[in-house]
């Protein structure tokens, strides 16, 4: 009786093992497609946006300051803001977005 129980155990054990790990594998796949993959896509788009900054672009910083880029040196940008055309210096990573402002 003990031999027959031991002989059937590997088959039941393998099926049980697969059934045990299936929910974990499914969770990893769901996390990848709903969390990790979109985050990587946003990071790639942000890197491309920062790399393509040019003089004359209207930008918004992560602090909410809106202005126009007047100079770029490696990782430092100079932004002109306000009616008085005050110049502020920011790191390139501080840019949140490039704004599409049309001149009327």
Q: Give the pLDDT of residue 14.
A: 79
Maximum CA pair distance of the chain? 94
pTM higher than 0.75: no
Q: Give the pLDDT of residue 13.
A: 75
Burial of 79 (0-12, 13-18, 19+ CB in 10 A): buried
In this structure, are residues 77 and 58 in contact, taking their beta carbons and an 8 Å threshold? no
- CA 81 to CA 13: how far, in whole Å? 69
Could you tell me the residue range of the domain that residue 6 belongs to?
Answer: 1-52
Examine the domain organization and report whether 9 and 29 are in the same domain.
Answer: yes
In this structure, are residues 39 and 33 in contact, taking their beta carbons and an 8 Å threshold? no
Each residue's pLDDT, cut to its tens digit, for the chain (104 residues) gives 444 544 544 556 778 888 888 999 999 999 999 999 999 999 999 999 999 999 999 999 999 999 999 999 999 999 999 999 999 999 999 999 999 875 54
Q: Is residue 104 part of a domain?
A: no
Examine the domain organization and report whether 10 and 46 are in the same domain.
Answer: yes
Examine the domain organization and report whether 1 and 47 are in the same domain.
Answer: yes
Examine the domain organization and report whether 32 and 59 are in the same domain.
Answer: no
- CA 53 to CA 77: how far, in whole Å? 9
Examine the domain organization and report whether 1 and 41 are in the same domain.
Answer: yes
């Amino acid at each position: 009786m003990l031999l027959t129980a031991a002989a059937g155990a590997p088959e039941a054990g393998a099926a049980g093992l697969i059934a045990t790990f299936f929910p974990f594998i499914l969770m990893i796949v769901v996390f990848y497609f709903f969390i990790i993959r979109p985050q990587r896509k946003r990071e790639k788009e942000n890197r491309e946006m920062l790399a393509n900054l040019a003089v004359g672009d209207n930008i918004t910083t992560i602090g909410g300051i809106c202005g126009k880029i007047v100079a770029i040196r490696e990782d430092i940008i100079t932004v002109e803001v306000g009616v008085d055309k005050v110049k502020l210096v920011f790191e390139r990573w501080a840019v949140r977005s490039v704004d599409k402002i049309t001149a009327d």
